[in-house]
Structures are given as C-alpha cells and as structure tokens.
A and B are shown apart, each in its own frame.
Chain A
Amino acid sequence: MSTTTTGATPATAKKSEEQDPYRELYSKNRRKALPPGTDAPDFTLRSTPDQWLTLNEFRGQPVVLAFYPADWSPVCGDQMALYNEMLKEFHDLGAELIGLSVDGAWCHAAFARHRKLHFPLLADFEPKGEVARRYGVYRDKDGVSERALFVIDADGKIHWSFVSPIGINPGADGILSALEELQNKKPTTAKAK
C-alpha cells in the first residue's frame, strides 16, 4: 500500500491527538532542543535562595541537565524522585545531575526538602525560562520548559538530548546509555594523547 508523506490522514491525526492526554493543558508545538555536538550554553542560576551554580564549574566531568515543567507533580511517577534514586548510578558514571524548572528558589527548596532530593534544583526564574530558551526547550505559550534531558560531556559539548512528551516521565535509561557511551569513549581519547 502506498502512503503519502505530505500530510497525515484525518484518521492518523485523530489518533495522535487521542494519545496525548495533555493536549488540553499544553500547547502542541514542541521546540527544537539543541542537538548533540553543540556547545552547551553556559549559565549561572540560583540553586538555593542564597547560592548560585554555574554550569562551566563542572567542566571535566559529564553533567546531566533535566529540564522539567514544574515542581510538585504526583509522587509515584515523579521523574525527579526516580533520578534521586539513581544518583549512585550517575555518580558511578562520573556524572553530576542538575534539575531545572522555572519555579523560584524557595519553591525548589520546599520541594527538595519534601521529596528528600539530594541534587541541585536550579531556578530558571529571572528572566523567566531564559536558560530553557537557550537550550531550545522553552514553551512560550505555556510559560514552562519542556520535559527535556541533556547529557553534556567533560568538554562542555552536548552529547545527547531528548525531549519527552510533556506528560510522560522519560525514565533514566536514555541518560544511563549516554553516560556509558561517554565512559567508553574516554579510554580511546586518553590513548590518543
């Protein structure tokens, strides 16, 4: 059977709409996240009401950036709660994890304390969503970031990025695979030197 590539049939369009329970809540246009190979834009954001964190301070080790729409999503399926349990695995792979959303530092502080999160949550709060925008994952219409993941290598380059449908927790498998790739790459570059 031949199919046309110039547009979805009405049936297909309807189906994909039905599959997205967030269609009423969030706009449909997904932004284009910065692709692998791009230099990760540096930033400095509040990690607590009186502390700041700069991305480039992590140069020399991989960093996982987890953009998420908002604090206080339901517990059992919560993405940050899952990553919190995965910190040992991330650290074993030499990586640091950073969460980012447009929530303010006090909101993050309450959220992190309530969920016992053991990694920094950065407030992409002023100018609102500026960092998400620079990574190509800000949703103008909704005023929040995408649920987007970036794995940045030791040289500050984006190694892997992924934008999940906003209502779906992407899990941690993609992050682990990307970090393992970075670790497998390391011995080769050492030898080349």
Chain B
Amino acid sequence: MIEQTHLKLPDPERDHLQGAIDAPIALLEYGDYECPVCGEAQPIVREIQRRLGDDLCFAFRHFPLTNVHPHAEHAAEAAEAAGEQGAFWPMHEMLFANQDALDDESLAEYAIALGLNEERFIQDVVSGAHAERIREDFRSGVRAGVNGTPCFFINGQRYDGARALEPFLAAVAHSAIST
C-alpha cells in the first residue's frame, strides 16, 4: 500500500552506492534509464550529492517499465554489466546523458568509450546475465509502494515532494537533522 513506505535501505551487500554506507543521509532512487523524468532528475541528484558531500550516501535501483520503454531493460543490463567490470557509475552517467540512444549498438559504443571488455559486456547484456537482479530491484520497489519513476526514498522515507533542486535538497538535508 502507499502507506507502507518505510524501507531498510540501502543494502551495502547488494546495492550500488556512492558515498559511505554510514553517512547520515541515505538517498535511494528507483529509476529507469529510458524514462525522461528520471533523466531530468539526474543533474539534480548530482548537485545534491555535490552539496552534501560525505553526508550523503546515494543508491540506485532499477525500475524499468519495459513495455513503455523498449530499451530500458537492456540499458539496466548495461549498467550491471559495466558494474561487473567496476564501472557501474560511469555507465549510469553515460546512459542518462544519452537517453535518446539506448539501442544495443549504442550501448556497446559506451562500453568501448569506458574502456570495458566489449565482448564480455555484450555477452552479459544480450544474455540477460543480470535479469534476476534487475527484477529483484523492481520487485523490492513494488513492495515499497513505488508506482512510477523516478521514486526517491530519503533515509527509507518516500519523498513525494517537488524534484526541483531547492525543495529536494532541503528535504534531503533536513533528514540529517531529524534523524
């Protein structure tokens, strides 16, 4: 239900994190690389990370709406495949920066640009090597009441406010004081 929005997150054992897990604020995003609204939120998230520095731990989980966004599943696979080669976040940035070119060929180009092992990357993406993990992300989101993307949780509490920098930053920064 939409009321059940408290999550124990993020999980350092499985989540992709930027920042220390024991930072006072944890910001978790459920997102879809082909979702334009997620794309718009991306620079805002980056700016919040820049301003809060070590006080913030950011985590990203996949929530691809694959019927609406035909490239979303492979894009998520691409991020995970890059993650296998130690480049989850560079690929994450690359995908959001190129939302209008997420076909398989473009994904392979990004892997090359990031200096990844191309053959292994393509094999991972095409075979759906990380499909189960992506589905696990998706399911965890559904159980937490995620109903669309992007969906943010600040220290486990869902944030439904405006995603412009000022109110979003204020909400994130405030959670450090209140918890």
Give the B-binding residues of A (Cβ under 8 A).
75-79, 81-82, 84-86, 89, 115-118, 162, 164, 168-174, 176-177
Contact = CB atoms under 8 A, between A and B. Distances in A.
A164 B3 CA distance: 11
B68 A115 contact: yes
A176 B143 contact: yes
Q: Which of B64, B142, B144 has its CB near the most chain A CB atoms (within 10 A)?
A: B142
Contacts of A164: 2
Range of interface residues on B (Cβ < 8 Å): 20 to 34
B2 A77 contact: no
A77 B1 contact: no
A164 B2 CA distance: 9
Given A77-B148, A82-B147, A171 B1 contact: yes
B143 A173 contact: yes
Interface string B117-143: 000000000000000000000110011
Interface string B135-175: 00011001111111100000000000000000000000000
A168 B68 contact: no
A168 B2 contact: yes
Nearest to A168: B2
Contacts of B68: 75-76, 78, 81, 115-116
B59 interface: no
A118 B67 contact: yes
Contacts of A117: 67
B113 to A, nearest CB: 28
Interface on chain B toward A: helix, strand, loop, or mixed SS?
Answer: loop
A171 B139 contact: no
A174 B1 contact: yes
19 contacts: A76-B36, A76-B37, A78-B148, A82-B142, A82-B148, A84-B67, A85-B66, A115-B67, A117-B67, A164-B2, A168-B2, A169-B147, A170-B147, A171-B1, A171-B2, A173-B144, A176-B142, A176-B143, A177-B1
Nearest to B35: A76
Interface of B: 1-2, 4, 32, 35-38, 64-68, 138-139, 142-149
A84 B38 CA distance: 20
Given A76-B32, A85-B65, A173-B2, 9 more contacts: A76-B68, A76-B148, A77-B147, A77-B148, A81-B65, A81-B148, A82-B147, A85-B67, A174-B1
Contacts of A81: 65, 67-68, 148
A82 B64 CA distance: 10
B142 A86 contact: yes
A171 B67 contact: no
A164 B1 CA distance: 10
B129 to A, nearest CB: 19
